[in-house]
Structure 1
């Protein structure tokens, strides 16, 4: 390159790069966990060097919080795409508690993959998670009762807790038949909760 020639990036380059980092980090974090996902691995997954990290995030915790919030926002958007109805919530429950979800942690729910580690993160990360989670819970609450979503928040949160806990337990078990029975029972429990509302 001749002296004085500057490389100029398209104005969308930095936001697009940030989104690429968030997408690959979300998957890596869910696959390997927060503690086992170093900045080098997270940046390599995005096809970038460590040097680019600090032009997008102030710290690893900043990246973790932002990636998890993005994952929850994506989950809420996917839920919205099926319509905000009790039938959509039933579909979500049945799709959530599947063997596919057990086997594809990196493509699944951030809460089921990372909840124990999120609980040990700093307050700022937990606050970001809480806000993003409640955005998704509000989507579920709208499906329960379109006219009074705020009243249904606690009910939606209870159903979500059943789903997340069931998924975590099923993933932890070494007996495939027992793990499958846990999933089946989780669907039954979540559906009973949905129908009793």
Structure 2
């Protein structure tokens, strides 16, 4: 029997993490069984257990990777208020609100993560700390504690607002939540609004 190369095994693992991340965010952690997760990645149950010891192991890995990817995006933003404003506008856009599978892991999974086992919550904790630090680098005002407090507040405002905008059934209220969050996020960040607000962006 032919053995797969380390590169092939790593590519398979990455594919599993990526497809599981989309499935978890769209259907929920509890709503995603192993059979569905392996089918999404084009694998078998046996192949799954060659990479992960359990579904919880996969969830912790996905949470860590999703947040690491998000941190990388924030870290890659050019310095200055313009890039912060653009990030806030994109995060609080109708397009992001409507894209559960491709969007923020915190907004999609936070309620479930709070009920998960400690390994998953620890993975989330590490990721959130890194995210707050990444945001803080763009908000640095010379006072480390105040800067971190602003970053933590901004992170919490973004996640909670996106969750609320997704949860309500009234489209006008959903858009109001996004617009109000955008204005408050700008105030926390000390950024200035550009010519495009979240509500003028078209949803996919």
Structure 2 length-normalised TM:
0.88
Query: What are the ranges of 5 or more consecutive residues in structure 2 without an aligned counterpart?
Result: 192-204
1: distance between equivalents of 2:143 and 2:12? 39
Q: Which residue of the other structure, out of 183, 188, 195, is the alignment partner of 1:193?
A: 188
1:140 equivalent in alignment to 2:118: no
- Pairwise mapping of residues 103-118 of structure 1 onto structure 2 (< 5 A)? 103-118=98-113
Question: Of the two structures, which has the highest relative contact order with CA contacts closer than 8 Å and spacing of 6 or more?
Answer: 2
Q: Which residue of the other structure, out of 102, 118, 125, is the alignment partner of 2:120?
A: 125
Return the offset for 1:10: 2.1
* Conservation of the 8 A alpha-carbon contact between 2:136 and 2:151: yes
2: distance between equivalents of 1:106 and 1:112? 11
* Conservation of the 8 A alpha-carbon contact between 2:63 and 2:120: no
1: distance between equivalents of 2:37 and 2:172? 35
Superposed CA RMSD in Å reads 1.7
Query: What are the ranges of 5 or more consecutive residues in structure 1 without an aligned counterpart?
Result: 1-5
Q: Which residue of the other structure, out of 54, 60, 68, is the alignment partner of 2:55?
A: 60
Q: Per-residue CA shift, 1:112-146, capped at 9, x if unaligned?
A: 00000000001111011110121121111111118
Return the offset for 1:81: 2.4
Q: Per-residue CA shift, 1:73-121, capped at 9, x if unaligned?
A: 1111122222244332222111100100111111100000000000000
Out of 25-34 and 148-157, give the one that drifted further.
Answer: 148-157
Cα pair distance change 1:119/1:57, threshold 3 Å: same
Return the offset for 1:72: 0.8
Partner of 1:87: 82
Partner of 2:163: 168
Q: Per-residue CA shift, 1:29-57, capped at 9, x if unaligned?
A: 00000100111111111010111111111
Where 1:107 maps in the other structure, the secondary structure is coil
* Conservation of the 8 A alpha-carbon contact between 1:84 and 1:140: no
Q: How many residues of Structure 1 are paired with residues of Structure 2 in the alignment? A: 191
1: distance between equivalents of 2:89 and 2:18? 25
Return the offset for 1:19: 0.4
Return the offset for 1:25: 0.4
Partner of 2:29: 34
Where 1:12 maps in the other structure, the secondary structure is helix
* Conservation of the 8 A alpha-carbon contact between 2:63 and 2:124: yes
* Conservation of the 8 A alpha-carbon contact between 2:154 and 2:189: yes
